[in-house]
Amino acid sequence: MGFIGQVLPAVIVLGVLIFIHELGHFLACRFTGVRVDKFSIGFGPEIFSFQGRETRYVISLIPLGGFVKPSGESPEDIPSNGLRPYDFLAQGPGKKFIIAVAGVLMNFVLAYVIFSGIFMVGNPVLKSTVGGFVDGYPAQSSGLRAGDLIREVNGAAVSTWNELTGRIMELGNVPLLLTVERDGSFLTLQVLPKVEEVTDAFGKKRALARIGILPGKAYRIEKYGPAEALVKGGETVLTFTGLTFKAIGYLVTGKLSLKALTGPIGIVAVTSETAKRGLVHIFQLMALLSVSLAVFNLLPFPPLDGGLMVFILIEAVRRKALSFRFQEAVAKAGFALLLLLMVAVMYNDLVQIGFFGKIYQWFQKAG
């Protein structure tokens, strides 16, 4: 796969997420009677633009964000004769809050629609098939073979890879009786797991039981009726929202390293690999990223949407807006910190893909 083939899936996925987010702000402005001067997808040099009746629509070169610029968003935008009814600053806290939160809500709605749709049309899940073995683990000498389909673990039925690994971890350091289907016949094998102390995705150490098997490539399709799919879609969004907030909490308290974060370069790599597995997997990734984008923008940190919401709530409580100079100074400081975070995350991405090692080797050869 060439460079364009690797980057294009990420550009499409990020482009959709950004468009949906900014569309939320745009529609909220329309709903509250606020005029929109500019609707931009991307930053930097403009690739394409056209002027609508009130709004200028723009697609820019760098697809790492976007913005909606309401009319009368800052004092500099206000004409000498004062605020106009359609200016952002002319609105009360209620309408301002609707505009601020709308982008986040649209990302949650997108994730919900995608997850629910996948559960309706068919969600591909890995079967409990043995694809291979990890050297030095007990499964290698247990009599299991690649291609075996594990049907039961200590009497409990399993049919997916997640059910299989979850059951093994739940039982811990006890002998496992595996009911295996092989070439149409059933047999029972015994394996004693190897228990190790590992650090999970949230930086917590815990005991983990493993037998050392790798998943096969066989999938089964899980389909649900519309009502159940809608419920499961909501449950999935709530689950990943909770996990994202939990991860952010661990980052803030130092329990999770910044190295666990993935930036634009990492997203390109992940999206490229996901695209090879099929369209459904791309949509699953898009939904996950949409939840992450929504949660990230909810953080009470200017210049994110959550920071603007905090300013609006303060305005509602004190019945007077904070000075624009103060808001602008806080937003600039926040933007600088976000840039530093982005640099750190992109550095992690480059380390993960071995960029600096490749540069070093290139200099060695050049010398």
User: Quick one: pLDDT at residue 360?
Assistant: 47
List the domain range (segments joined by +) for residue 155. 124-221
Identity of the residue numbered 174: V
Among 127, 108, 137, 155, CA closest to 220: 127
The residues annotated as belonging to the active site are: 22
Q: Where are the alpha helices (DSSP H) in the chain?
A: 3-32, 93-121, 161-171, 226-253, 264-275, 279-298, 305-318, 324-352, 355-366
> Do residues 136 and 202 both lie within one domain?
yes
Q: For residue 69, what is the enclosing H or E element?
A: strand 56-70
User: Quick one: pLDDT at residue 189?
Assistant: 93
Please count the structural domains in the chain: 2
Among 29, 101, 98, CA closest to 68: 29
> Do residues 138 and 100 both lie within one domain?
no
Identity of the residue numbered 333: A
Q: Is residue 86 part of a domain?
A: yes
Q: Is residue 228 part of a domain?
A: no
* Boundary-marking domain end, from 162, 189, 221: 221
Which CATH number characterizes residue 141's domain? Answer: 2.30.42.10
Token pair listed for 87: 């200016």
> Do residues 321 and 353 both lie within one domain?
yes
Q: Report yes or no: 74 and 331 within 8 Å, Cβ to Cβ.
A: no
| pTM for the structure as a whole | 0.83
Q: Is residue 233 part of a domain?
A: no
Q: How many CA atoms lie within 13 A of 201 on its CB side?
A: 7
> Do residues 34 and 101 both lie within one domain?
yes
* Boundary-marking domain end, from 193, 221, 249: 221
pLDDT in tens, 201-211: 666 677 788 89
> Do residues 142 and 197 both lie within one domain?
yes
Among 35-39, 155-159, 357-361, name the one with the lowest average pLDDT: 357-361
Q: Is residue 71 part of a domain?
A: yes
Among 127, 75, 97, CA closest to 328: 75
> Do residues 143 and 110 both lie within one domain?
no
User: Quick one: pLDDT at residue 3?
Assistant: 61
Token pair listed for 172: 């811990």
**What whole-number distance in Å separates Cα of residue 110 and Cα of residue 100?**
17
Q: For residue 197, what is the enclosing H or E element?
A: strand 194-199
Q: Is the alpha carbon torsion for 294, 295, 299, 303 positive or negative?
A: negative
